Amino acid sequence: MPNTAVDIPISGGCANCPIRHKAVCARCEPDELARLEDIKYYRTVAAGQNIVWAGDRMDFVASVVAGVASLTQTMEDGRRQMVGLLLPSDFIGRPGRELARFDVTAVSETVICCFRRKPFEKLLVDMPHVQERLLEMALDELDAARDWMLLLGRKTAREKIASLLSIIAKRATLETKPLPGAPIEFDLPLTREAMSDYLGLTLETVSRQISALKRDGLIKLEGNRHVIVPDMKRLQAETGDDEFM
């Protein structure tokens, strides 16, 4: 069990929660936190397990505390598209919505902090700090979705892979300050199949393009999941994006 996300918060209260300052509760005052605390409970979901099925009644909303989850849409014939990649602090569900619109699946073992939906909706009305933060998060996600749409609609397979690796690299180096120019290392949180769902490709194409980037010296692999990027600039240049996105 190398990746034990499980015993992270669960006790200690909101004050020492790892996502305290990034999630919907980011702007809450201590007394507001107390109200949230009343209606919250933790849930741990094993890798690969579904958290919600599209069409399900949803009696809660939640924040991802640890792990990685995905939002996906599936067509009748099995074609699948990821439409959201949920990292710690990201929000699950929608206030005011009874039925889930998308599948939510734990990609790795995931801990979520659930709030019963009805009380949460009430609380939203008289805790403007939560609503404010939720609006900000929704607008951020909308921006991300729009960049993702450019990727899906117009980028080549190679550009798609380079873009995804850049996105993951960027977030991996958010905490650990990267001295610029130095090589960057990180673990892929996604299988090849999940990557293909994210990028609108087949898993074979994902595999081929990763091999091609490796051949061209843009990345190195240690095992299948650990990636080393010797020169981030060079990888960025393959994404098709304008410099500095």
Partner DNA sequence: CGACATCTTGACTACAGTCAATACTAGTGG
Partner DNA sequence: CCACTAGTATTGACTGTAGTCAAGATGTCG
Question: Would you give the binding string for its own copies spanning residues 103-132, x where CB under 8 A is met?
Answer: ----------------------x--x--xx
Residue 202 binds which entry of DNA, its own copies, none, with Cβ cut-offs from 5 to 8 Å by kind?
Answer: DNA
The residue among 88 and 200 lying less far from its own copies, judged by its C-beta, is 200
Residues 6+ apart with CB under 8 A from 208: 157
Of residues 63 and 205, the one with the C-beta less far from DNA: 205
**Is residue 29 a contact point for its own copies (CB under 8 A)?**
no
Interface with DNA (CB under 7 A), residue from 22, 35, 203, 231: 203
Which residue shows structure tokens 């977030």?
171
Binding pattern for the stretch 67-106 against DNA, x by CB under 7 A and - elsewhere: ----------------------------------------
Please report whether residue 99 would count as binding its own copies according to CB under 8 A. Answer: no
Taking CB under 7 A as the criterion, the residue among 7, 38, 140, 204 binding DNA is: 204
According to the binding rule CB under 8 A, does residue 154 interact with its own copies?
yes
Task: Compute how many residues bind its own copies; rule: CB under 8 A.
Answer: 39
Greatest Cα pair distance in the chain: 57
Residues making contact with its own copies (CB under 8 A): 71, 73, 75-76, 79-81, 83-84, 94, 96, 101-102, 125, 128, 131-132, 134-136, 138-139, 141-143, 145-150, 152-154, 199-200, 240-242
